[in-house]
Homo-oligomer: A and B are copies of this chain.
Amino acid sequence: MFAPLQNDSFLRACRRQATSHTPVWLMRQAGRYLPEYCATRAKAGSFMGLATNTDFATEVTLQPLERYPLDAAILFSDILTVPDAMGLGLSFAQGEGPKFAHPLRDETAVKKLQVPDMAKLDYVFKAVTSIRKALNGKVPLIGFSGSPWTLACYMVEGAGSDDYRLVKTMMYQRPDLMHHILATNADSVAAYLNAQIEAGAQAVMIFDSWGGVLADAAFKEFSLAYTQRVLAQLKTHHDGVDIPRLVFTKGGALWLDQMANLDCQVLGLDWTANLAKARALVGGSVGGPGKALQGNIDPNVLFAGPEQIANEVRKTLDSFGTPHTDATQTGPTHIFNLGHGISQYTPPEHVAVLVETVHQHSKFLRQNSPSA
């Protein structure tokens, strides 16, 4: 059904297999910093018009790959499609973030919550298949979802928040209600990601964008446990190929020791993490178990000049160090990415410098490694 994969560097790095260069892709790589994205969005009329139309979603997913030699594509969609399918009424006001018409504010609303009929999310699965076909084997396609906790934040707050007062009030006051939301979210996200896998996603990523706002003990109980509940239900293989699982917790570097136990292959890190320390902690050794690491340059680096961007990219690669080069075994690997989504104000030509430097310098590291 799909063309054979030509560039498998991303999937190999996910599996902790050696690669000739460090693969790179960027969170939110199909986005407003690209004029061609803005043009398609104008045609679509709105963000959800873009996300729900198979042709438009395919078009914008492929746009960054036409500009830059990125090593992976990621489904163009929103993390809030699942609660929308649950009936919360997602909308995007002009120039503002997402909003829910029916946030979860009381016991009645919470108790009504159910795993949605996946047919309501068919537009997402159709987009996955369409994008996978359009990629024609160029690079692998990553599917994704928000984490149960991150979805719950939006579902209770009704929108973005700077203090998470409403969702945390429910969490501390009525932990039973919060656990009900999170369990429902986890089972919904698992069904959603499995359907993306069936539709053609070659890896799946869980974005715990708001895990980092939780207190130390609460993170484990209300975020990590439910991310694991999703992971435990995911298909590990499809069509005879393994499907790597990536987990990104913004602000999660502090809890890397706990995340090491997640049933996933890759841990994503934001820019506050030290990649050398993270590698030592969870990256494992050649022949031993461990997690591949993804990240973690500050997206604001892209506002500096080309020389400075190249410098910072090299520092990030050097911080991880040379990934292992043993073709016969698994070992520590690095997938280059930003520490969070790319800013809409990023000059597109700066992204070219980043991608090129990742490829060049990561080859240089391998060629000059003592074990190479």
A interface vs B, CB < 8 Å? 162-165, 168-169, 172-173, 212, 214-219, 251, 253-254, 271-274, 296-298, 300-301, 303-305, 308, 312, 315, 319, 339, 343, 345
A319 to chain B, nearest CB (A): 8
Q: A339 — nearest CB in chain B belongs to which residue?
A: B215
Contact B300 A168, beta carbon cutoff 8 Å: yes
A177 to chain B, nearest CB (A): 12
The docked-state distance in angstroms from the alpha carbon of A23 to that of B58 is 59
A130 to chain B, nearest CB (A): 32
Chain B residues within an 8 Å CB radius of A339: 215
Chain B residues within an 8 Å CB radius of A308: 172-173
Copies of this chain, whole number: 2
The docked-state distance in angstroms from the alpha carbon of A162 to that of B274 is 22
Given contacts A254-B254, A343-B163, contact A216 B169 (CB under 8 A): no
Contact A215 B298, beta carbon cutoff 8 Å: yes
Chain B residues within an 8 Å CB radius of A312: 172
Contact of A251 among B216, B251, B304 (CB under 8 A): B251
Contact A272 B251, beta carbon cutoff 8 Å: yes
Q: A218 — nearest CB in chain B belongs to which residue?
A: B298
Further pairs besides A172-B303, A216-B271: 12, Cβ < 8 Å: A163-B300, A163-B343, A164-B300, A165-B343, A165-B345, A168-B298, A168-B303, A169-B304, A215-B297, A215-B298, A216-B272, A251-B272
10 shortest interchain CB distances as A-B pairs:
A168-B300, A172-B304, A215-B271, A169-B303, A216-B274, A173-B304, A215-B298, A254-B254, A172-B301, A253-B254
Chain B residues within an 8 Å CB radius of A273: 216, 254
The docked-state distance in angstroms from the alpha carbon of A251 to that of B163 is 14
Q: A300 — nearest CB in chain B belongs to which residue?
A: B168
The docked-state distance in angstroms from the alpha carbon of A174 to that of B68 is 27
Given contacts A253-B254, A272-B254, contact A165 B300 (CB under 8 A): yes
A216 to chain B, nearest CB (A): 4
